[in-house]
Structure 1
Amino acid sequence: MDIVMDAQALNAFLERDFPQVAEDHRVESVGPGRLVARLRVNDRHLRPGGTVGGPSIFALADVAIYCAILSRIGPVALAVTTNATVDFMRKPAAGRDLLAECRILKLGRSLAVVEALIFSDGEDEPAARCSMTYSIPPKRPQNSAL
């Protein structure tokens, strides 16, 4: 399946439909079955000890995986997470943005399974691994009444 939305289109979609996450999250690149997104880390993402907190890591994975799916199916605002697993493997580096490198494992008509590795910018070893399943709502026939 071809790329339907590139990084620019995905960022515009987030700014328009999800402004609450667009300030912190940005799609960096989109490729066949892959996507890289960035969390612009600032003080509100930190927990005691100066590391990025788990909720911020989860949010990056969720936004990035959602965008990876939309890059292939288009702007389906009602696609939702139905399952999520996060393995926190190491402390993210202090003072650096986080990157989510996503890979689409399965993209069906009603379900998508995507994996994301979360890295501190410039680091080779992942800080976390996330796997999520999304439910994709059925397409409405084009001539159907609302």
Structure 2
Amino acid sequence: MPVITVEEMNVFLNEHFPQGDKFGYLTALGDAWAEMKLPVDDEHLRPGGTVSGPSMMALADVCMYAALLGQIGLVPLAVTTNLNINFMSKPESGRDLVARCNLMKVGKRLAVGEVWIRSEGCEELVAHTTLTYSIPAER
């Protein structure tokens, strides 16, 4: 079971990351998983009218952060040590993005997870991400 609620996590993200509204918002939090939504607007688009890679990377990173903190509590200094992303298909025009993170392993000092990003309402995978987070010794 997560140790915090969706509401607590969204408040935490808003307080600690003032730019966080550009990364999406948490919609669900469970046992070793999290789901987020990115309402896509013009600031997320790159030339050609598709969602930019950095926007999708930020969504994946914050989704993993939320899933991890849902397990270990509000530990602000848990940080990304690796992010690998594969762009699988172009996001559907005019649709928001949804992300789901599943934690694969949470150890004492490292956590590993995967994030799948799709256009809302579509099954086709837009991006697949693997991430590793460093968990501080002092919590």
Q: Same fold (TM over 0.5)?
A: yes
> Tell me, what secondary structure is at the counterpart of 2:125?
coil
Structure 2 unpaired stretches of 5+:
none
Q: Distance in 2 between matches of 1:74 and 1:22?
A: 21
Task: Give structure 1 regions of 4+ aligned residues with deviation exceeding 4 angstroms.
Answer: none
Write the distance in 2 (CA, Å) between the matches of 1:19 and 1:25. Answer: 12
Instruction: Quote the residue 2:104 is aligned against.
Output: 105
SS in 2 for 1:36: strand
CA displacement at 1:27 relative to structure 2: 0.3
Number of equivalences: 139
Matched, 1:88 2:99: no
Q: Which residue of 1 aligns with 2:10?
A: 11
1:1-146 matched pairs, under 5 angstroms: 2-22=1-21, 24-139=23-138
CA contact (8 A) 1:11 1:22 kept: no
Structure 1 vs Structure 2: percent identity of aligned residues?
Answer: 47
Return the index of the structure with the highest Cα Rg.
1
> Are 2:23 and 2:55, in contact at CA under 8 Å, matched by a contact in 1?
no
Tell me, what secondary structure is at the counterpart of 2:57? helix
Matched residues in 2 for 1:23 and 1:89: separation? 22
Deviation at 1:24, TM superposition (A): 4.3
Q: In the alignment, is the contact (CA less than 8 A) between 1:4 and 1:73 conserved in 2?
A: yes
CA RMSD in angstroms comes to 1.1
**5+ long unaligned stretches in structure 1:** 141-146
